[in-house]
Amino acid sequence: MPWMTRWPGGFPVFVERASGARFVDVDGHEYVDLCMGDTGAMAGHALPAVTAAVTERASRGITTMLPSEDAVWVSDELRRRFGLPKWQIAMTATDANRFVLRLARALTGRPKIAVIDWCYHGTVDETLVVRHSDGSTMHRPGAIGPSTDVAATTRVVPFNDLDALDQALAHGDVACLLMEPALTNIGIVLPEPGYLEAVREITRRHGVLWVVDETHTICAGPGGCTAAWSLDPDFFVIGKPIGGGVPVAVYGMTDRIAIEVEAMIGNHDVDVSGIGGTLTGNALALAAVRATLSTTLLDADFERMIDLASAWTDGVAIGYRSRGLEWHVQQLGARAEYWFCPPPRNGADAAAAADPALDAYMHLFALNRGVLLTPFHNMALMSPAHTRADVDRHTEVFEATLASLLD
Ligand SMILES: Cc1ncc(COP(=O)(O)O)c(C=O)c1O
């Protein structure tokens, strides 16, 4: 995988074991993990409840292409957390997004999708795009083997730009807008006040379905930004952390959409390919989601995690401000990230300030002192297992990094 080559130092450390918020490499070095599998392990490594549930479920069979009873508990819990009434299972967030795009095109009869400039929604062909300065859609720089010209599939708009969104959707050919409620894949860029409410109004006015991908923004709270900010999407996607590390993702939809989807997939003229896969919704995955969501990422966990992320943010801000650097650090709930520029308004502003050499230096310096940051991000994610001592360790290391760079 290309990103495996981007770990600091030019090669990845090999992991012997991980538990809570720490891991040990094959040479016996212990690290504070601030990457947490880039959110896949946000609930903590080796959760006892997940280990027990997965072990128990494996002994009763993993995959049958039939539903298991855990699916009922899981869909009730997803409704309680995120508000949408009907749920489907996928294997990864990439998969969930692909299936939602397919459903959105089928439901609206429109060919294109819209995304936000510098978004990331997994390896979904239509979303691996950026916006050209003339407004047209281009492949992401360096994209490997694109299958088709993305200008034919995708309209791309800057974050926090309502006029651009209105214009892009006015063509009448867009089935859905797929977006994160705050950008988390080009640093963290928060929505401006009123932006998401206006996005909802504009999408509705143009008959465009609104898909909110909360695979990362679950960091805002137990119900993600959707619950925290009272959002009202048509589709909702989340992968990564919900299975405590076991590959599984889900997508939710409104009742109105679910009725149409059920009618469509219940029609025997519809091809059985295209949505889901053979191992999708297997009993192991559902047991893992149940064990994760019933025991962790709950209100009390988030209170602690968000406090720790605030302390991490303060430590970073004090460090760069005391040295007069024009950087910023942005927090979204349990996640925080620093970037080498003043707060950007959109993904293109953030991308312009990227500095891979400086990133590599910051990351390697931290790794050599027992702290793992998220690769190609300067991001820390707090899990319920992190402690104030872990945060203070990072603050010390960050200080020392700046001293080594500047003194
Ligand atoms: C917002 C968002 N959606 C989807 C994905 C894809 O997740 P996966 O690689 O698990 O399919 C990512 C991965 O980083 C993501 O950040």
Task: Return the ligand 1 atom nearest residue 122 CA.
Answer: 6
Handedness of CA 342, 344, 349, 351 (dihedral sign): positive
pLDDT above 90: residue 9: no
Question: Could you tell me what percent of the chain has a pLDDT over 70?
Answer: 100
Cβ 92 under 6 angstroms from ligand 1: yes
**How many whole angstroms from 269 Cα to the centroid of ligand 1?**
32
What is the rounded average pLDDT of the residues 60-69? 96
And the tokens for 115?
A: 């995304």
Give the DSSP H/E element, type plus range, for residue 43.
none
And the tokens for 38?
A: 């880039």
Task: Return the ligand 1 atom nearest residue 237 CA.
Answer: 3
In one letter, which amino acid is 402?
Answer: L
Probe target for ligand 1 pocket from 215, 237, 335, with the most ligand atoms within 8 Å of CB: 215
Q: Whose CA is nearest to atom 2 of ligand 1?
A: 121
Q: Whose CA is nearest to atom 9 of ligand 1?
A: 122
What is the rounded average pLDDT of the residues 355-380? 94
**Which residues partner with 45 through β-bridges?**
20
> In the structure, how many helices (H) and strands (E) does the chain have?
12, 16
Query: 323-354 pLDDT, tens per residue?
Result: 999 999 999 999 999 999 999 999 999 999 99
Quick check: 8 and 375 in contact, CB under 8 A?
yes
Q: What angle do CA 225, 302, 12 make, to 5 degrees?
A: 90
Probe target for ligand 1 pocket from 6, 119, 121, 248, with the most ligand atoms within 8 Å of CB: 121
At 166 the pLDDT is 98
Cβ 39 under 6 angstroms from ligand 1: no
Cβ 335 under 6 angstroms from ligand 1: no
Beta-carbon contacts of 59 under 8 Å, excluding residues fewer than 6 positions away, are none
What is the rounded average pLDDT of the residues 57-68? 97
Q: Whose CA is nearest to atom 6 of ligand 1?
A: 122
Task: Return the ligand 1 atom nearest residue 95 CA.
Answer: 11
- What backbone torsions phi and psi does residue 284 show, to the nearest 5 degrees? -65, -45
Strand 22-25, strand 15-19: pairing = antiparallel
**How many whole angstroms from 75 Cα to the centroid of ligand 1?**
21
Task: Using pLDDT thresholds of 50, 70 and 90, give the confidence band for residue 4.
Answer: confident
Average pLDDT value over all residues in the chain: 97
**Which residues partner with 139 through β-bridges?**
129
**How many whole angstroms from 325 Cα to the centroid of ligand 1?**
31
Quick check: 80 and 262 in contact, CB under 8 A?
no
Query: 215-237 pLDDT, tens per residue?
Result: 999 999 999 999 999 999 999 99
- What single DSSP character describes residue 192? P
What is the rounded average pLDDT of the residues 274-294? 96
And the tokens for 214?
A: 């909360």
**How many whole angstroms from 119 Cα to the centroid of ligand 1?**
10
**How many whole angstroms from 41 Cα to the centroid of ligand 1?**
13
Cβ 124 under 6 angstroms from ligand 1: no
Q: Whose CA is nearest to atom 14 of ligand 1?
A: 122
What is the rounded average pLDDT of the residues 152-169? 98
**How many whole angstroms from 190 Cα to the centroid of ligand 1?**
18
And the tokens for 211?
A: 């898909």
Cβ 240 under 6 angstroms from ligand 1: yes
Q: Whose CA is nearest to atom 15 of ligand 1?
A: 121
Distance CA 169, CA 219 (A): 29
Q: Which residue has the tokens 């589709």?
A: 235
pLDDT above 90: residue 147: no
